[in-house]
Structure 1
Amino acid sequence: MLSFATHNDRAGRIAAGLSNGGVALSEDGGQSWEARSQGLPEAPVVAVAAAASNPETLYVSVHGDGLWKSEDAGRSWVFAMDRPWLADAERDLTALASVDLASGMGGIWLYAGTGLGLTRVPDCFCRWQDVQPGDAMDALVSGAAPAPEAPLPTGEPIHALVSAASVPMRLYAALPSGVWASADAGVVWAQRSSFRTDAVAVHPNNADQVVALTADGLIQTRDGGLSWTPLANN
């Protein structure tokens, strides 16, 4: 299993992206699993996310292919969008997060990590774009955006990405350089740890309580990343 997604409104449900292709779904917290791969290409599913506004809607990134969508908890899938074009090439999506903030296009945002950094698209899937202040219509009309004050490190791959359900503007990203946090939906980022991080999760009701996976195991913060302790000690 390469990636996981849960939703606050579906206790016990876990969607998992598989290294040998497809998606598996558990409704009992991982005790049992069911294949949910009909229509997906036979390639690794490297990222998966549940739509913040609808727990039955799932998104997955298929290696070498693009973004796929299911509106029935994975029972069927349709192609949603090509991979983003960055630095003269299509780039795989390495992380996905549905962010419950209005996009200005009648829906909410889907944020994505790549091997080169962060991008996002409204859930109407019109065009990948940089994260910036303002709404999607402003960005599409202008065609260019002012540089963010403090973006994620340029060219560093994003291993995982989450939005806090209780405070959707609060984002956390897992990078080789550590955990990074944003309080304004990804415009300004601050480094919150210096340990190489492969995964990150945030408490559904407390945006300051975060768990991260490092080479030495799980670490936890209860203050938004200002201090960390090994999870085994709590």
Structure 2
Amino acid sequence: MSQNLPRALSRRCLLCGGVAAFGAALLLPHTSLAATTVVSSGSLTYADGAILAASKRTLWRVDAAGKIEHRPLDRSITAFASHPETPGTLFAAVAPSDLLRSRDGGRTWADISAGLQATRITALAQAALEPDMLYAALEGDGLWRSKDAGISWEFVMDRPYLDGTERDVLTLVSVGNPTGMGGIWLYAGTEAGLTRVPDCFCRWQDVTAGDAMDALVAGKTPPPTKPLPEREQVNHLALSPEEPERIYAVLKSGIWTSTDAGVNWTMTASGTFDALAVNPENPRHLAALRNETLSVSRDGGMTFDPLNLS
């Protein structure tokens, strides 16, 4: 069970708490689907070669062979995190303010909220090169880190300050390409656009070309030739560790793709997308929730096909 910690304690490091097992599985026995897979807007991830999509009260699973099933949830999952090096392990942010971990692909769950404030988790990510390192962005608070897969937590960074105010992190990815800052970048989508911070957590910065340390010393950088639309909300970020410089961003205008670690962008699909995930084994294979339908793309988001049983 999560603890309601005073805000003064949110800046202290290593707030530890035990992991309490649920008395019953979060998911009930599955029932099969018929026809097109239709879901509400929610969260999406790949795990063990399967696509997992969470609606308000349902978890949909499509395995590598195309078998589709769904199971009812007793609470809403608002964000997922998974890593190809830890098959079967999933993390899920659950409304209103809890964090759960599954070691069996989502069949049973344990609460790992201890050490975090009882505040809505707006984004989750596992470190690209260290899957036991987990990041959670908290609404109105900032960024927290666990180095032991959620057993203990520490506060590491305030929210990004963009356009004159602090912004909640809506989506988060770890980009595994070390740069001149000497670490791995965390990219964050906010209502005011894209930003990033190195895992030394010195400061939030714009995404720039070239050596980030040189840019920091110089105080200015050459502008990108094809930036994301200015001040447009970034709702989802996704990538495959096989090609970390290929990043996908979901904006109100559609899906945008960068092949140079977020410096320059091209729109690859227009329209509204509710969630996006990238197959960790193939950075051009995507899954998306769009107009309440679960669809897949095999060409980097240029085209999408709804999933059917046939």
Aligned runs of 1:101-140 on 2, under 5 Å?
A: 101-140=177-216
TM-score, structure 2 as length reference: 0.73
Aligned 8 A contact 1:103 1:122 in 2: no
Number of the residue aligned with 1:87? 163
Q: Secondary structure at the match of 2:213?
A: helix
Number of the residue aligned with 2:107? 31
**What is the CA distance between 1:140 and its match in structure 2?**
1.4
Deviant stretches of 4+, over 2 Å: 231-234
Greater CA drift, 158-167 or 112-121: 158-167
Deviations 1:85-116 (A, max 9, x none): 10110000000000001132221111000001
Matched, 1:157 2:233: yes
Aligned 8 A contact 1:37 1:76 in 2: no
Find the aligned partners of 1:152 and 1:198 in 2 and give their Cα distance.
18
Match of 2:287 among 204, 208, 211: 211
Match of 1:173 among 243, 249, 264: 249
**What is the CA distance between 1:17 and its match in structure 2?**
1.6
Q: Secondary structure at the match of 1:24?
A: strand
Find the aligned partners of 2:288 and 2:309 in 1 and give their Cα distance.
14
Number of the residue aligned with 2:132? 56
TM-score, structure 1 as length reference: 0.96
Relative contact order higher in (CA < 8 Å, ≥ 6 apart): 2
Matched, 1:148 2:251: no
- Count of matched residue positions in the alignment of Structure 1 and Structure 2: 234
Q: Secondary structure at the match of 2:241?
A: coil
Q: Secondary structure at the match of 2:216?
A: helix
Greater CA drift, 209-218 or 26-35: 209-218
Find the aligned partners of 1:98 and 1:129 in 2 and give their Cα distance.
15
The one-letter code of the counterpart of 1:154 is E
Q: Which runs of 5+ in 1 are unaligned?
A: none
Greater CA drift, 157-166 or 45-54: 157-166
Q: Secondary structure at the match of 2:285?
A: strand
Aligned 8 A contact 1:45 1:63 in 2: yes
Q: 1:231 to 1:144 in 2, by over 3 A?
A: farther
Q: Secondary structure at the match of 1:93?
A: coil
**What is the CA distance between 1:233 and its match in structure 2?**
6.8
Find the aligned partners of 1:224 and 1:232 in 2 and give their Cα distance.
20
**What is the CA distance between 1:38 and its match in structure 2?**
1.7
